[in-house]
Chains A and B, each alone.
Chain A
Amino acid sequence: MNQGPAAEVMRGVRAGLPVAVGYVPMAMAFGVLATQTGLSFFQAGAMSFAVYAGASQFASLGLLAGGASALAIVLATLVLNFRHFLMSVALSRRLPLRRGSDHRALAAPFVLGFGITDETFVVASLEERLSIRFFLGLIVTVYLAWLSGTLIGAGFSSLIPPVIARGMGVALYAMFIAILIPGVKKSWVNGLVAVAGGLLAWGASIAVPSIPSGWRIVIAILAASAVGAMIGGGDDDPAAEAEETA
Chain B
Amino acid sequence: MIWLMIAGMCLVTFVPRVIPLLLGRNLVLPRWISRWLSFFPYAALGSLIFPGILTVVEGRPWIGLAAGGCAALLALKARNAIFPVLVAIAVAVGLQLATAA
Contact = CB atoms under 8 A, between A and B. Distances in A.
Interface of A: 18-19, 21-22, 25-26, 29, 39, 43, 46-47, 50-53, 55-57, 59-60, 62, 64, 70-71, 73-75, 77-86, 88-89, 91-93, 95, 97, 99, 108-110, 112-114, 116, 118-119, 122, 163-164, 166-171, 173-185, 189-191, 193-202, 205, 216-217, 220-226, 228-229, 232, 234-238
Contact of B44 (A74, A79, A229): A79
A166 B96 contact: yes
Contact of B16 (A39, A81, A225): A81
A95 B24 CA distance: 9
Secondary structure class of chain B's binding surface, majority of residues:
helix
Contacts, number: 309
Given A70-B4, A77-B9, A202-B50, A110 B97 contact: no
Closest 7 CB pairs of A and B: A22-B82, A197-B46, A194-B46, A198-B50, A174-B88, A167-B93, A113-B18
Contacts of A194: 42-43, 45-46, 49
Contacts of B86: 22, 25
A228 B40 CA distance: 9
Interface of B: 1-14, 16-25, 27, 31-32, 34-53, 56-57, 63-64, 67-68, 71-72, 74-76, 78, 80-82, 84-93, 96-97
